Structure formats: C-alpha cells, structure tokens
Structure 1
Amino acid sequence: MYRSHTCGELRTPDIGTRVILSGWVQKVRDKGFVVWVDLRDRYGITQLVFDEQRTTATLLAEARKLGREFVIQVHGEVIERTSKNPQLSTGDIEILVSEIKILNPALLPPFTIEDDTDGGTDLRMKYRYLDIRRNPIKNNLIFRSKVAMEVRKYLSEQGFIEVETPYLIKSTPEGARDFVVPSRMNQGQFYALPQSPQTFKQLLMVGGLDKYFQIVKCFRDEDLRADRQPEFTQIDCEMAFVEQEDVLNAFEGLTRHLLKEIRGIEVEKFPRMTYDEAMKTYGNDKPDIRFEMRFGELNDVSQHRDFQIFNAAELVVGIAVPGGASLTRKEIDHLTDWLRRPQIGAKGMVYVRCNEDGSYKSSVDKFYDQEDLKKWAEATNAQTGDLICVLSGDTMSTRTQLSALRMEMAERLGLRNPLVFAPLWVIDFPLLEKDEETGDYHAMHHPFTSPKPGQLELLDTDPDAVRANAYDLVLNGNEIGGGSIRIHDKKMQSTMFRHLGFTEEEARAQFGFLMDAFQYGAPPHGGIAFGLDRLVAILGGQETIRDFIAFPKNNSGRDVMIDAPAPIDKAQLKELNLRLENNEG
C-alpha cells in the first residue's frame, strides 16, 4: 500500500508506531548532519527526519536529492520531536525514515506552494492544479463540498427529489446571451446550453413530482466580473401547490440551516422589504443591512432656498456617515473626486459636518442656515460627529450613486464584517422593466413570473404599476437567490408573452411545449434558484467566487490553463457545415 496514515493524523500516542506515508515534498532543510523534510498531503504536514547517527549514508544522500513538490513514499517510525511546532497539528512528532521511494520527481514550481504565495493571479490560474495544493484554495473547495452536502441533506429531508435536466436544449430568451452548440446530425440547427433549467422544472411540476431540486451547471454568455462566471452553479428548486409564503418559509429554513451548520450562527425570522422600500431607503434592490446609513430624502427641506442645483433636481437625498465629521477637507475632496469617476457619474457632493457642540458646518452655508441643516440631520438620522453627504439629480441615477457611496464608506469604516450575516427578503418587484431607448418592456425576472393576484388587468392600462409575485434572498448586500410564483395558466401566459412583444407565432415557436403542458393540468407552482458559487463565497467570508471554483475562467472568459476557447479543426467545421470568416477552406 502507498500509505498507512495521512500526513495530518499522527500524534503523540502514535510514538513508536511503524508507518508508511506518501505525499508531496513541501520543503527540505539540510543542516549537514541532519536533513528535515516536510511532507504534505491534503490532510496536513508531517516532518521527516534523516540524521547521520540513525540513518544510512545512502538514505541521507537520497534525502538530499529531493526537491519541492517531489512525490515520495516513506517508511519509518513515529518518534517524539525534539523541537516541537505548535503551529502544526502533527508538531509534537516526526518520522525517523528507514526507507524512501521517489514516486515522481517534479520541476521547480513557478510559484511557492504556500498559504502566502509569491504567484500572481494569472500565473496561479495557468497552473491551477498547483494552486489547488495550497491550503486557501484546497480548503475553499472542501468548504464548497460541505455546503453542497448540507444542501442535499436538508432538501432531501424536506421531501425534495433531485432530478437532472438536459444540458443540450433549445435557445430561449431569458435575459442573457446563450452559448450555442451546432448539431452535426441536424445541420444548420443549434442547441443552446441552459441559462437555467426554468422550463424543465416547471414541466416536472406538471409531471407531479411536487418538490424538485438540482445542483446544476448553467451558462450565460455575458460580461464577467468578480462574482460572475460564464458557467456557474445553481441550487435550483421548485414546488407545486404553493403560494409565495410557502416558498419563502421553505428556503428561509434552508438558509438558516446552512448558517447554523456551516457557520454556527443562529438567525431568527428574516426581515422582509419591498422593492420600492429598498430602492428608496438604500438605492438598490440588494441592500446590505449589516449597517445603517439609510437614505434621507431632503427635497422638502432643501428646495426652499436659492441653491439652484437642488431646486432643479428631481431628488435630493443624503446619508449620515458615522464619525465622518473628522474627515479633513482634503479627504472629502478625494471622496468627491471618487464620486465623479465615470463608474459612478456624480457631478459633485454637498456635505455637512455635525460638530461636537451641536452646530453644523456645510459646504453650502451661503444658502442654508443652522435650522435648515438641523432638518437635514433629522432626515438622515445624523448624530454628533457624523458627516452628511448629499447628492442630487434624477431619481434613479442619484439613488444609484448614493448607494455606491454608502457601500464605499462602509468598506472604509470596516462596517462590512464578513463574519456577520444579515439575510433579507426583497419582495414585490416590478413585473416589467421598460427599455428607455426603445420603449419596449421586458420581464424583470423571466417571462414565466406571475403578477401579484388581481393585477393582471393593469398590464393593459398601467404596466409600470404591476408587481410580480417574485422575491430575492439577499445576504450581506449580495443577491444569493431569486425566484417567483409561476404562471400556470395558458391564457395568462399568452397574455404575458403578448405584453413582452411576442407574436402568437413567436410564442408558439419558442414555448409551445410549455403552453401545451399547461393544458394537461398544470398545478400552481413556484420556486427559487440560489447561486451556489456566490453563496459559498459569502459563507466563506469572501465575495469573490473564483477561489471557490476548482477551474475558473478569467475576466475575459478564458481558461488560461487549457487555453480555451480555441479554434477547432477544419475537418470538424466541415462536418458541422460551418464556415468562419477568413478561414481557409
């Protein structure tokens, strides 16, 4: 056998035991009369010792040939370590080696396989198989496995059935671009990789399975960022004979279970907030409620003077930054410059210091007196020592800009503690969003989301007012899950397609299979999908998902390790009846 024990399990009670260990050489320390080797595997590190008094000259010479990341097997005896290392779980013992075998030599790695490595992101992604040997990445992948196992355990105990759905499907509009796959046997036709198993899980409800889940790969051809990959994993779920309250309770239970089992944290009932309230109070639909800095609207107490910037604005709104009055004028100027960056787009910022003596000092003292500024402080709940930051302009842009400022100040003040978890349900989203350029409407979630009861008729008269029977689960300022109660009636689904600009023929061509299924007794149903990558990262105290994925893509959607995407052979193109521009033949 290759090993009798792992490199992380031997302890003082094992002293005197003959063992066989296998692993990678972490480090070799040669002091002339003695050689120490740190042997590493997934479970830990055990120190090996070779010395002139107890080791043969041949064995000592073999030890000196070892290099970093050599794969070796050793036989030896567990002995007490003279100089103990409290940093290692095996730090009280070492192995006096009697036999060594090099299973595979190794080139010198392009970066050190240590927790604090000298390898940059691009280099580590190119040699990802080496990066996985490092504890931070290895532990993240083990952590991800633990979360997935807890999800399966909980949902299975709640009566959910895991069902696999197809990866080669029909292209349907779900808000992002599809990845398409040409069909060799049906030339000129294409499969699409699923953006989600949405229609299939609805069909499973028509099929009577009642409770479904799947931990499933999904694919979206969209621009990337730290928390987005072209292929990602969802915890996809659906339930029959449910209303919104049933779904929220079921998956609040799952989230509470994960927080308790994974993080040891007990969370009571999750707060709920409507979409309109979230936008008005925090400027976005996934607010981080670990800290305050709620928006205070100031139109009524700021548009009565001669300050034309405020008077001309659709919205004047501010936040109180705790302790911000201590910021210097230079620091505030830098903050204003940060807001003016193209990524944020604010034209400027008005500020008010809430002084220790109860007075106020603002950048617009020329226009506003102490009584005015006191009302601003009351509207933003500013306390002594705070800094009130005020932006103005059109409603949507101003809220977005102030939301960015709120998050930036929370980051600078250390208010976004990754070990504090604040879940929140956001409900009552608009059913439709209007494209300001074209005037067309599209579904905020997807075309299968039902309107709130009694609001279907408003689609013809006031579509902006229609609220969706939809909900998002937010954790620490990140959307970790979203879902809705679905349309299960063919007539209502046809009405929805019509308002989304589908002709009857287009709707039939795209979704005829679903419409047909609704005619055979579709039950009321609804569900939710969690982003597993993002959920795992947040539970792990991070917001970047890449280090929790075994083989991620970079920000250009490339796998730099295997060099994909890549051209394909001309013979394959010909077989698929495809021709690329400027491609010879």
Structure 2
Amino acid sequence: MTMKEGIYRDVTFDKLSEADMGREIRVAGWVENIRDHGGITFVDLRDMYGELQVVLHDDALLKDIGREACVTVKGMLRKRDEETYNPRIPTGTIELAAETVEVLGKVYQQVPFEVMTSKEVREDVRLKYRFLDLRNSKVKDNIVFRSKVISFLRQKMTELGFLEIQTPILCASSPEGARDYIVPSRKYKGQFYALPQAPQQYKQLLMVSGFDKYFQIAPCFRDEDARADRSPGEFYQLDFEMSFATQEDVFAVGEEVLAAAFEKFAPEGYEVTKAPFPIISYTQAMLEFGTDKPDLRNPLRILDVTEFFQRCSFKPFHKKTVRAIKVHAEMSKGFHEKLLKFAQSIGMGGLGYLEVMEDLSYKGPIDKFIPEEMKTEMRELARLEAGDTIFFIADKESRANLYAGQIRTELGEKLDLIEKKAYRFCYVNDFPMYEYDEETKQIGFTHNPFSMPQGGLEALNTKDPLDILAYQYDIVCNGVELSSGAVRNHDIDIMVKAFEIAGYDEETLKAKFGALYNAFQFGAPPHAGMAPGIDRMIMLLCEEENIREVIAFPMSGSAQDLMCGAPGFVTEQQLREVHIKVRD
C-alpha cells in the first residue's frame, strides 16, 4: 500500500492490513469507545470506512478525549495479541500503538445517545441529532448504498441513450394532485411560485422541444402527511420521458433499468422478477388482489362469488359484492377467532368461512345457507379440495375489494405464505381515466390529468366518462408502488375535451397549463414516461420498514426538521418583503 502523508491522516481504515505492520502512520476519526485496563487504555477509533483499535500507554494522551471526540493519532501499526483478535472488523488482527494524539474536535456536552445503538433510540431524538445518528455504521451504510444505487441508475439511463436535464424548482402551482408548497414572490405582489410536485409539464415540454429521451434524479415536493413508505415534504424519483414511444416502450425501459438495479443491489440470495414483468389490469388487480398494489409474493388470490350467493338464502350476502379467498394451510386452534377480530378491527361486520372435510362436505357457519344442489357448484367454482378453508367477504364493491385485500394480506402473513427473499415486480395498467367524487358530486381525474384516454377524442365524445380507461400504469414491487406513468395526451383537441369533462373550461386550461396548451399547437410528438421512486426502491433493497432510514436528513413523521428547526417563524421584515401578513 502506498501512503500519502497528510496533516490529519495518511490512510483510511479500509486500506490497512497486516502488510502494513511496522509502519509509522497517522490516522483520524471519532472515538467510539474507551476501555481503561489500568496502565493501558484501548480506544476504538472509527472513520467513515471502518474501525481500528488504538493502544495508549500514557494517560496524558487521553487529555480532552471522550466518546465521539474527533482526533488524529500518530503511531506504529502492529499485530494484536492473538487472544484479543476481533473477527467482527477487517482490522481485527492489528492495532495502532499511539505516540501522539491531537484532539481536532472536542465534545463539549454529554452525547445524547450511544452512536452504536442509535437505531434503538426514539425517532425524535435521532432526528434532532441526525449528524450523530449518521455516524452509526448501519445508518451511514444506507446512505452510502443510496449513493451507489443512484450512480448506477444514472449510468444505466445514459447507456440507454437518455439525456440528463435539470428542470426548474420554482414553478407554477398546479390545481391537480397533492397540496403544493407555495413560495411568495418579492417582485410580484400577491403572486406565488410553487415547488414542483413532479417535473410533469417540463419533461413533456422537453419532448415538444425535440429532446428524444430525457431523465433526471428529480426532487419532488408535496405537502402530504407521512407514512412508513412516504416521506413528508420531499422525495426523489428517477423521472424519464421518451418521444415517439408507446406504453410497451416505457415498460421495456422500466424493466431493463429496475431489474438490473435490483439484481445488482439485492441482498444475497434474493430472486428478482425477470423481464418481461407480469402486466395486470386495474380491474383484475382490484378483483384478484383487492388493491392496485398487488404483492405477488403472496400466493393467495381473491375470487368473485357474487353471482353464486345471489342464488343462496344467506341474506347478509344478498345485493352485495361477495369475494372469497381459498387457503390450504394448517390453522391453529383459535385462528378463526383471531382472524374475525382482525376483520372487525378494519371495519368488517363479520367474516364467513367454510372448511372442506375429507369427504368434501363443508363445515362452517354458513354451510346451512348453501343449498345441497349448489355445494358441488361451489366446490367447482373455487376448485376446493379436502383440507381447504374458504373465507367470504361481502360489502359494497369498493369496500369488498378493500377488505378482501386486507384479509388476503393478513392470511398470507399469519400463515407464513409470503415468499421469502424475493422482489416480485408487476405492471398495473388500464386505470380509469375519471372517478366520481362523492363529496363534490363531480367527475374528476383519477390519476394523471395529462394522460391519453384510450379511444382518444371519440371515446371522450361518446362514452360514459366513468367507462373510459387511460393509458396509465404503475410499477409495483412486493406490494409497494414504485412508479406511476402514462402515455401522455399530446393532442390539443383531446386535451381540451378531457379537461372539460373534469370541470375545467378552455380558459382555465390556458391559465393553469398555458405552456402545454401553447406547445401542443406546434407539432407535439407522441410521448410517454414514468418516474420510479428512488427512496422506496432503496427502502426495499435495504430491507428497511421506514423510508426515513434511507434519507440523509429526513423530516419527522409530523413534517418537521427537528435538527434545523423547520418550519420556523420569520421576521416581520421578511414577511413585508414578500407582501404577506400572517392572520391570527
């Protein structure tokens, strides 16, 4: 190893080995632990790349040194006594005999938690002292890992011919989607910029400009509440768009990039879905999985038995959508009771079931409501065999889907049916273009308002809006939505009609989406794209339950930066400069 003498350090810990024994070196890092053995003191020193044991024979060298102090140490590298080897770390057979120690950064107050175990500390404390939390090797490794994944994604997109272009952070507010973060203008009284929820309009404008393939690691800002898989405030996505492209073209790029990334960075022993990914329509997803984010690691599928039960005498199922889930698994005593309690906890009134006996007869609370002549039909409909149990969920269609999906997940988890060590991808497509809002009593966009309706202008003019599908699609992995995307609407006539159905007249369209409205009158090409979420990808690859574990400086679940104190108050002068008065 070649060492370059430095004022603070000659080498980082990852570069040290037994081959360097007998050399005088200078290292630098943070004090992780101090062990006084009476006349000899051992210090565990940590830098970004590893750990090294330092031995001090002179107590004077310990002056002003405490845990988490930043120090530089000069000394001779030597071999440890064999009985003190530490197999946990690469430098576990060597140590540095200190000759000089200089404190570079003192610790002036008690450290609020042990860095080595910071992941066990309350989240609000961790986030307040995030700069200390990031010294934890696991937390740090997640951020290093994130950097490597993003670097790989950039490389892959460039290899596929995509050009990285940055789009504006200050933009116009959009009336669709989540709540905007708005930024007051100093120069234009009473007017506001917004932070982009996504680079949607700009990337479409790039396609109109003639840039064939665009991508960026795009910051997006949405004033939404936090969830385990959603950071409040901001997130990053691999945003890309392609001209002269179909839905299938986008699918091919998504498959190539995501499959390659997951295969490269997945934990050892994990399987990744090979391209082409399964394609599931929205309607099929809601029926078979009870969600538009299906987890394909769960082998259970939901059946529609609505028509069957309209011919039975079981009144609670009459005039309702009825879903069924068949399971072949050993169930412990009391399992049905526990599952019923779960069903009630999510809002269900009850949970019917039948067990299939060895002679293929049924046992269960609703057996008596199924006529004898229909029992064979039920067996054939659900392909029932001895040892099966079939559960029934009945409600309005939307709630029946929701409840059936939750029961499917609970069964998969409690019966240990979920496939281990696998990343299972699928596309969900053919989303409805519009939905009816029960609160406003109006029709609005279901998904992205810039999507191309299937059937084009003719469908918009002749079909019930609620029957129109859009060229919209999601990528889902293990039940987590990684991306949404669409074939974009590039035709001005279709755009005007599509927004008219959602309650926007042409003047509003010009005012709110003037750039696209104007651009589409100057030879806009067909284009399509998507934007896989980087934070969620890395959360899955790191096997973390909370997305904040893979973000360097995340906000808390209550959308606060506890470390820097945001949001915070500003001065009256600052408010005056942007023409704002805070109301009581």
> Normalising by structure 2, what TM-score?
0.93
Please tell me whether the aligned partners of residues 355 and 363 of structure 2 are also in contact (alpha carbons under 8 angstroms).
Answer: yes
Please tell me whether the aligned partners of residues 456 and 494 of structure 2 are also in contact (alpha carbons under 8 angstroms).
Answer: no
Task: Please point out which of 340, 343, 349 is paired with 1:336.
Answer: 340
The one-letter code of the counterpart of 1:44 is G
Match of 1:419 in 2: 421
The one-letter code of the counterpart of 2:566 is A
User: In structure 2, do the counterparts of structure 1 residues 385 and 34 end up closer, same or farther at CA, with 3 Å as the change threshold?
Assistant: farther
Match of 1:96 in 2: 97
SS at match of 2:535: helix
Match of 2:286 in 1: 279
Instruction: Give yes or no for the alignment of 1:259 onto 2:259.
Output: no
| Aligned counterparts of 2:381 and 2:264: Cα–Cα separation in 1 | 41
| Aligned counterparts of 2:342 and 2:364: Cα–Cα separation in 1 | 19
Q: Can you list the C-alpha shifts for 1:62-107, whole angstroms capped at 9, x where unaligned?
A: 2375321011111111111112111111111111111111112213
Q: CA deviation at 1:124?
A: 0.6
**Paired residues for 1:25-36 under 5 Å:** 25-36=31-42
The one-letter code of the counterpart of 1:213 is F
Match of 2:453 in 1: 451
User: In structure 2, do the counterparts of structure 1 residues 556 and 371 end up closer, same or farther at CA, with 3 Å as the change threshold?
Assistant: farther
| Aligned counterparts of 2:69 and 2:373: Cα–Cα separation in 1 | 74
Match of 2:202 in 1: 200
Q: CA deviation at 1:321?
A: 3.6
Match of 2:17 in 1: 11
User: In structure 2, do the counterparts of structure 1 residues 160 and 385 end up closer, same or farther at CA, with 3 Å as the change threshold?
Assistant: same
After TM superposition, the structure 1 stretch with the greater mean CA deviation from structure 2, 526-535 or 538-547, is 538-547
Q: Can you list the C-alpha shifts for 1:200-244, whole angstroms capped at 9, x where unaligned?
A: 001101111110001111111122211112211111111101111
Q: Can you list the C-alpha shifts for 1:438-485, whole angstroms capped at 9, x where unaligned?
A: 332222222210012457434543112211111111111111011111
**Paired residues for 1:206-355 under 5 Å:** 206-229=208-231, 230-263=233-266, 267-313=274-320, 315-323=321-329, 325-329=330-334, 331-341=335-345, 344-355=346-357
Match of 2:3 in 1: none
| Aligned counterparts of 2:191 and 2:198: Cα–Cα separation in 1 | 21
Q: CA deviation at 1:384?
A: 4.6
SS at match of 1:27: strand
| Aligned counterparts of 2:519 and 2:249: Cα–Cα separation in 1 | 24
**Paired residues for 1:13-162 under 5 Å:** 13-50=19-56, 55=57, 59-63=58-62, 66-82=65-81, 83-106=84-107, 107-115=109-117, 117-162=119-164
How many residues are matched? 570
Task: Please point out which of 468, 473, 479 is paired with 1:477.
Answer: 479
Please tell me whether the aligned partners of residues 48 and 96 of structure 1 are also in contact (alpha carbons under 8 angstroms).
Answer: yes
Q: Can you list the C-alpha shifts for 1:12-46, whole angstroms capped at 9, x where unaligned?
A: 22221222111011111111032111000111111
User: In structure 2, do the counterparts of structure 1 residues 40 and 461 end up closer, same or farther at CA, with 3 Å as the change threshold?
Assistant: same
> Normalising by structure 1, what TM-score?
0.93
User: In structure 2, do the counterparts of structure 1 residues 542 and 408 end up closer, same or farther at CA, with 3 Å as the change threshold?
Assistant: farther
SS at match of 2:256: helix
The one-letter code of the counterpart of 1:545 is I
Match of 1:442 in 2: 444
The one-letter code of the counterpart of 1:100 is V
SS at match of 1:114: helix
Q: Can you list the C-alpha shifts for 1:152-204, whole angstroms capped at 9, x where unaligned?
A: 00001111111111111111123111111100110110011111110100110
SS at match of 2:422: coil
Q: Percent identity?
A: 39
Q: CA deviation at 1:429?
A: 1.1
Please tell me whether the aligned partners of residues 456 and 466 of structure 1 are also in contact (alpha carbons under 8 angstroms).
Answer: no
Q: CA deviation at 1:562?
A: 1.6
SS at match of 1:392: strand
Q: CA deviation at 1:135?
A: 1.6
| Aligned counterparts of 2:332 and 2:458: Cα–Cα separation in 1 | 51
Please tell me whether the aligned partners of residues 28 and 66 of structure 1 are also in contact (alpha carbons under 8 angstroms).
Answer: no
After TM superposition, the structure 1 stretch with the greater mean CA deviation from structure 2, 143-152 or 418-427, is 418-427
Please tell me whether the aligned partners of residues 418 and 542 of structure 1 are also in contact (alpha carbons under 8 angstroms).
Answer: no
| Aligned counterparts of 1:226 and 1:509: Cα–Cα separation in 2 | 37
Please tell me whether the aligned partners of residues 351 and 390 of structure 1 are also in contact (alpha carbons under 8 angstroms).
Answer: yes
The one-letter code of the counterpart of 1:87 is R
Task: Please point out which of 508, 521, 535 is paired with 2:510.
Answer: 508
| Aligned counterparts of 2:78 and 2:450: Cα–Cα separation in 1 | 66
Please tell me whether the aligned partners of residues 37 and 49 of structure 1 are also in contact (alpha carbons under 8 angstroms).
Answer: yes
Q: Can you list the C-alpha shifts for 1:83-138, whole angstroms capped at 9, x where unaligned?
A: 21111111111111111111122133211111465411111111111111112211
Please tell me whether the aligned partners of residues 256 and 275 of structure 2 are also in contact (alpha carbons under 8 angstroms).
Answer: no
Q: CA deviation at 1:288?
A: 0.4
The one-letter code of the counterpart of 1:28 is I
Instruction: Give yes or no for the alignment of 1:520 onto 2:522.
Output: yes
Please tell me whether the aligned partners of residues 9 and 90 of structure 1 are also in contact (alpha carbons under 8 angstroms).
Answer: no
| Aligned counterparts of 2:430 and 2:105: Cα–Cα separation in 1 | 60
User: In structure 2, do the counterparts of structure 1 residues 545 and 370 end up closer, same or farther at CA, with 3 Å as the change threshold?
Assistant: farther
Q: Can you list the C-alpha shifts for 1:230-262, whole angstroms capped at 9, x where unaligned?
A: 211111111101111111111211111112222
The one-letter code of the counterpart of 1:39 is L
| Aligned counterparts of 1:203 and 1:193: Cα–Cα separation in 2 | 18
**Structure 2 portions without partners, runs of 5+:** 1-5
| Aligned counterparts of 2:135 and 2:118: Cα–Cα separation in 1 | 13
SS at match of 2:299: coil
| Aligned counterparts of 1:374 and 1:49: Cα–Cα separation in 2 | 79
| Aligned counterparts of 2:90 and 2:176: Cα–Cα separation in 1 | 50
Q: CA deviation at 1:378?
A: 4.9
After TM superposition, the structure 1 stretch with the greater mean CA deviation from structure 2, 227-236 or 197-206, is 227-236
Q: CA deviation at 1:322?
A: 4.2
SS at match of 2:312: coil
| Aligned counterparts of 1:6 and 1:61: Cα–Cα separation in 2 | 25
